[in-house]
């Protein structure tokens, strides 16, 4: 499986919105609604932010939202806050046992 494609970096000012894209193929992102997004702060474990493309685990602010169109999924963060600065990874799990991750996107809050 090839890694999903994410931009290396995105940035935004506090209060603004940013979107991070995640492009795959019809065998992963495009073929199933099983895209997840993870937030990782330096030296920390990843944290689940979005699953099944659009669903938010309890405790995740509704500023975080997910969507998908064709082979590309997106994570949108609205009302940017300083604590949102982190690395973000998308993943796809089509068959319950194997995962493919994106290369990661570094979000900078200006």
CB of 78 to other proteins, least distance (A): 22
The HSE-up count of residue 7 (CA atoms within 13 Å, CB side) is 13
Judge residue 28's burial from the number of C-beta atoms within 10 Å of its C-beta, 0-12 exposed, 13-18 middle, 19 or more buried: buried
Q: Rule CB under 8 A: say whether 38 interacts with other proteins.
A: yes
Give the x/- contact pattern for other proteins in 43-62, rule: CB under 8 A: -xxxxx--xx----x-----
71: Cβ contacts below 8 Å, ≥ 6 apart? 23, 24, 25, 26, 29, 30
CB of 51 to other proteins, least distance (A): 4
Residues making contact with other proteins (CB under 8 A): 3, 32, 34, 36, 38, 40, 44-48, 51-52, 57, 89, 91, 93-94, 96-104
């Amino acid at each position: 499986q090839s890694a999903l494609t994410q931009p290396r970096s995105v940035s935004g000012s506090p209060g603004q919105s940013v979107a991070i894209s995640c492009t795959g193929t019809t065998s992963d992102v495009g073929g199933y609604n099983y895209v997840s997004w993870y937030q990782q702060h330096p030296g920390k474990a990843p944290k689940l932010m979005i699953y099944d493309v659009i669903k938010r685990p309890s405790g995740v602010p509704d500023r975080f939202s997910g969507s998908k169109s064709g082979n590309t999924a997106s994570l949108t963060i609205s009302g940017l806050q300083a604590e949102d600065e982190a690395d973000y990874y998308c993943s796809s799990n089509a068959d319950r046992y194997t995962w493919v991750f994106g290369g990661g996107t570094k979000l900078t809050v200006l």
